[in-house]
Amino acid sequence: MSLFLLSICYYLIEKWQKLATIILLMNKIYLFLLFLLYLISPPLLFAEDHYTSREWLNLLYYEQSGSGYKSLAEEDGFFITKQGKTNPKDEYEASLKLVLAQDLTFKTKFPLRYKYIVKQHNLQYAPAVQVPANINKVLIAYPNRYMNNPASMFGHLFLVLETNKGILDSDILHYIADTAADRSIGYMIKGLSGQYKGWFLREPYYKKIKGYNYVEDRDIIYYDLKLSKEQTENLQLHYIELQNSFFYYYFLDKNCAFFIGKLLNIVLDSDIATKRSYIIPSQIINDLFDVNLLENERLRVANTKVFNRLFTGLNDEQKRGLITLFHEKKESIQADPDVLKAFIIISEYMISNHSDLADNIRSNRITAYKKLKDLETSNIRQTDVKKESVNRIQSESIGLSRVFNNYYEISFNPIYFSEYDHFNILEVISVKGLGTKINLYPNGHPLYQLDLVDLNNIIQSNDVLNSFSWKIKSSIFYKDSILTNQEVYYGFSWNVMNRGLLYSLVGLNYTNFDDISEINLDSLKLLPTIQIGLNHNLTDNLKIIVSYENKFQKDYITTGFIYKYNNLLNKLILINNKDHSTVKLSFEYLL
């Protein structure tokens, strides 16, 4: 029996040795064939290593869709295969074949894809296009909120390709959607449903900045981007590729901020976040700040703000003299330098917004410059304000309040551009969205509040800039039942000695809830409202507010102090009406 088992074992060992010899021979043949294939077309063997890479997916704007991918680019001309929009593998392999053939059309149309593939496979780099070599640096610019257009209430983003001749000789790169034909409701519907087409556009800096400075007149924050020369070159190469496509614009998450973020991801070493339920320009700035890619922050203050400060400092005779410069051509000007500076600062804005005055303004501006030159006056135009360090943009807040003898209030604002980000400015320009509050009572159910939007645009009006002020707020409450308060105000405000702002507003409330006294009304009502108030700067970080308000058919008088310490707002508010008084102490941290 043992001899039989030994025979079987010997037989199996012999067969296994033969099988191992065959397997070894097959492996040698496979490696030899693999070597031959490499000699014939080496890069194709390793294409699979690259078509799912971060760089390739970014280059073609692929995003995961279910178990596969789908590009955000819409034109067929952006791809070289019919299924390129959803198949990064086929698109990569087809592109690789064209690179191996040094296809001139491909190299011209897609110069960064060509460069990327060449680099991945150690091929000869023979570019067909050249980009300008005089770009010194790339800036990212953040024009802040513009309240007269829903598309711009959260600001905008664009890149500046600054040349060695200076910023005025530079180009900008940005993503824009054509929404000019629609306003308010039409814009919101189309913007939320992706019915607008958007494009990347490269245009002269002076042309675009004229619109921001002289038509919309926004504050603009500039930052230098820490990009290498190769990254700057790649940015320009990719813009050539973008001429072959458009991208649908969505108000919440596929907007200018999103696409500037996607564009930067193509040249950065790691991605900044673009996958959010909503995305706004400040988030992209803060993401770049978090990875230390920003330096040299500076601010260009809106010309209207500079003018308002100068105009308020003039006496009545000087103001009358300045106003005549808009309406009458002068052969000679006898005005003093302060008047002429104020006139020049606001002149282009007035030309852009009051075309009927353009001839007078242009003629008098030439005369004003000559006069200031004769007087050897310097610093006629404003200059950018350089910050000591780069700072995050505050766009959120959390808060805790105590209403004495009543309740605690907890608040969170995921979208909040505060009027207090530059505390000592006079205008009250703020944007809140989706703010939530919970009032916790010692006895009874809590009150839940959702502020869908809370917009304030309290800006100065004077004899030159006859600007309107307004406020809009839409709130929903829940305490045993659903309640609402919808309000809109409209009016004027005036500068008080460059230290405060006096405002007078009238409006309407559609409501069944008094959100000051926090009591239910007996039914939904449309009620008239009046508000008169003063915001006054006591110091650079301390304000006093006083207001009278007829609201919910009651009279309210409010007095309060607001003190800012770093990013913390401290408020002490006293509200009086004929029935009771309320004292509220609150702390709000700006994030």
Q: Contact at 8 Å (CB) between 157 and 284?
A: yes
What pLDDT, on the 0 to 100 scale, is given for residue 28?
A: 54
What pLDDT, on the 0 to 100 scale, is given for residue 403?
A: 92
What pLDDT, on the 0 to 100 scale, is given for residue 60?
A: 94
pLDDT band, residue 562 (cuts 50/70/90): very high
| Residues paired with residue 139 on neighbouring β-strands, in sequence order | 160, 224
What pLDDT, on the 0 to 100 scale, is given for residue 493?
A: 94
User: How far apart are alpha carbons 527 and 331 in whole angstroms?
Assistant: 55
Q: Express each pLDDT in 456-498 by its tens digit.
A: 999 889 889 888 999 999 999 998 899 999 999 999 999 888 8
DSSP string, 382-442: ---EE-SS--PPP--EEEEEEETTTEEEEEEESEEE-TTSSTT-S-EEEEEEEEEEEEE-S
What pLDDT, on the 0 to 100 scale, is given for residue 11?
A: 52
Cβ neighbours of 552 (radius 10 Å): 21
What mean pLDDT comes out for the span 269-286?
Answer: 88
In the predicted structure, residue 102 carries a pLDDT above the cut 90: yes
In the predicted structure, residue 424 carries a pLDDT above the cut 90: no
pTM exceeds 0.75, yes or no: yes
What pLDDT, on the 0 to 100 scale, is given for residue 158?
A: 93
What mean pLDDT comes out for the span 263-269?
Answer: 95
What pLDDT, on the 0 to 100 scale, is given for residue 162?
A: 93
What mean pLDDT comes out for the span 249-276?
Answer: 90
Domain boundary assignment for the chain? 1-36, 43-120, 135-300, 303-382, 397-590
What pLDDT, on the 0 to 100 scale, is given for residue 38?
A: 45
What pLDDT, on the 0 to 100 scale, is given for residue 37?
A: 44
Percent of the chain with pLDDT over 90: 50
Q: Contact at 8 Å (CB) between 196 and 74?
A: no
> What DSSP character marks residue 287?
H
What pLDDT, on the 0 to 100 scale, is given for residue 133?
A: 87
| For the ranges 102-116, 317-331, 344-358, the one whose mean pLDDT is highest | 102-116
In the predicted structure, residue 87 carries a pLDDT above the cut 60: yes
What pLDDT, on the 0 to 100 scale, is given for residue 387?
A: 86
Cβ neighbours of 577 (radius 10 Å): 17
Q: Express each pLDDT in 170-221 by its tens digit.
A: 999 999 887 766 666 777 777 777 778 889 999 998 887 776 655 557 888 9
**Would you state the structure tokens that stand for residue 191, as one six-digit string?**
């913007």
What mean pLDDT comes out for the span 57-75?
Answer: 90
Given CATH 1.10.287.90, say whether it is the number of domain 397-590: no
In the predicted structure, residue 41 carries a pLDDT above the cut 90: no
What pLDDT, on the 0 to 100 scale, is given for residue 439?
A: 94
In the predicted structure, residue 402 carries a pLDDT above the cut 50: yes
| Residues paired with residue 429 on neighbouring β-strands, in sequence order | 457
What pLDDT, on the 0 to 100 scale, is given for residue 29?
A: 56
pLDDT band, residue 138 (cuts 50/70/90): very high
What pLDDT, on the 0 to 100 scale, is given for residue 409?
A: 96
| Average per-residue pLDDT for the chain | 86
> What DSSP character marks residue 591?
-
What mean pLDDT comes out for the span 55-83?
Answer: 91
